[in-house]
Amino acid sequence: MIAECQLATDLVRCAVLMLLYEKPLHGYAIIEGLGERLERTISPATVYPFLTQMLAVGYLTATQDNVGKRARTVYSMTAEGRKFSEGIFRRLSQIVSTAIEPSLVHCSHCGSKLYEAGHVEEIKGRQTVFCCIHCAKAHKQAE
């Protein structure tokens, strides 16, 4: 159970990096964005300590934004934070690619990997998958 909790926390942290990589956000907007992306409620106790760590190492900056009578802290990614995030995203991409590789379908003509259903045609009584209608046409012409 502890490993699952740690993995979930790490995924939340990656999602925080993704959100801040896109644009500066205040804490509540980060929590809302996480809820939308991860389809679950994320505790501020998971988010704010991570933001504090990222500020301490210089990957984020924080500015005060006054909204009415309230001040909000807006977090922005620094150039160093962007570089750090890109390294994390590359590693995450490699992990995800390894995880989904067994479920990928390949185009019967060009061999490209299909992450979602492609163009399907019945050829010689068998369902054949292509990335597009053009590959299906070229495959039929080659037969």
pLDDT in tens, the chain (143 residues): 445 556 556 889 999 999 999 999 999 999 999 999 988 899 999 999 999 999 999 999 999 988 788 889 999 999 999 999 999 999 888 888 888 777 778 888 888 888 777 888 888 888 888 888 888 888 888 77
* Same-domain check for residues 9 and 61: yes
* 89-102: burial string, b at 16+ Cβ within 10 Å, e else: eeeeeeeeeeeeee
**How many CA atoms does the CB half-sphere of 134 hold within 13 Å?**
1
State how far the Cα of 139 lies from the Cα of 124, in Å rounded to an integer: 12
**pLDDT score of 6:** 60
Same domain (yes/no): 62, 127: no
The range of the structural domain enclosing residue 117 comes to 104-142
How many domains does one find in the chain? 2
Tokens of 58: 């210089």
pLDDT value at position 59? 96
Q: Is residue 94 part of a domain?
A: no
